[in-house]
Amino acid sequence: MSITVTTPVYEGPFDLLLHLILKEELELYEVQLSTIVDEFIAELGRLGELDLEVATEFLLIASILVELKTRRLLPGNNDLDLDEEFAAWEERDLLLARLLECKTFKDAAIVLRRLSAEACLSRPRRAGPDVHLLDLTPDLLDGVMPDDLHRAYLRAFEPRPVEHVDTFHIAPIRVSVADAVNELVATLPTSGPTTFRRMTRDLDERLEVVVRFLAVLELYKQGVIDIDQVGAFGDIHVQWRAGADPTGVDLVDAYEG
């Protein structure tokens, strides 16, 4: 169903009406939107069922017309900032681009449906060559010797080479968050306030430092330690919280983030 409207100043497709208004070839004040809406509702009543695509297209164009007419009728639009005005026009252009894209895909679907219907009229040839052409077909086994078949068989059934993926660049995981949590639970309650820098000064690998930091976050999440950092990139002060029971810490088996 194509959306067609009839007004005292215009009669034709609904999208063409919007195009004429945007090109200032038709005065928006002379278009009664209520008449258009009443006519569209009456058309839907005659159809008996709602076409979602047509209704969506109508609502999109009608919303643009309502917005344009509201901006022209309401006072106070003359003092708009230039950037705001450009943003409003950009929003309108995006709506029109979506409408154009929707129409493009709709037209493409119509063409593909027509091509599919034409292709259904074709039938593939299932018969072999004509009798008088049988002698002209080449012999596919001409020149093929038993040795050739034997070599082809060996190539087809020879074992496939095993692909080897070198993993030398993958660092082996030798530490775990669970081990780091156990170590911190055993030392922090009696060591007093400390810093994260002091806790990791004996660690050589970056992975171990990361795992130790994750263990600190896990203990902080369980509420058994306090963390404080005075300034950006400053030392992270770690202290066991008074009254926290080390035996009540839930030991993690693996870090899940």
What CATH number is attached to the domain comprising 198?
Answer: 1.10.10.580
Domain assignment present for 137: no
Q: Specify the pLDDT at position 257.
A: 41
C-alpha distance from residue 68 to each of 39, 62, 97, 201 (Å): 21, 10, 17, 67
* Structural domains counted in the chain: 2
Domain membership of residue 61 (yes or no) is yes
pLDDT in tens, the chain (257 residues): 456 666 666 666 666 666 666 666 666 666 667 777 777 677 666 666 666 677 777 777 777 777 777 776 665 555 555 556 566 667 767 777 777 788 888 889 999 999 998 988 888 777 777 777 777 777 778 888 989 999 999 999 998 888 887 777 776 667 788 888 888 888 888 888 888 888 888 888 888 888 889 988 888 888 888 888 887 778 889 888 888 887 777 765 554 44
Parallel, antiparallel or unpaired: strands 11-13 and 194-195: unpaired
Together in a domain, 113 and 218: no
Does 132 fall in a domain?
no
Residue with tokens 């922090």: 188
Residue at 181 is within a domain? yes
8 and 115 share one domain: yes
Does 236 reside within a domain?
A: yes
Residue ranges making up the domain that contains 12: 4-119
The verdict on 8 and 110 lying in the same domain is: yes
For residue 134, give every residue at least 6 positions away whose Cβ sits within 8 Å of its Cβ, in sequence order, or none.
none
254 falls within a domain: no
Cα torsion 32, 33, 35, 41 to 10°: value is 170
Query: 93, 119, 145: which is the final residue of a domain?
Result: 119
Asked if the structure places residue 138 within a domain, the reply is no
Q: Tokens 């070198």 belong to which residue?
A: 166
Show which of 94, 119, 144 is a domain's final residue: 119
Both 100 and 9 in one domain: the answer is yes
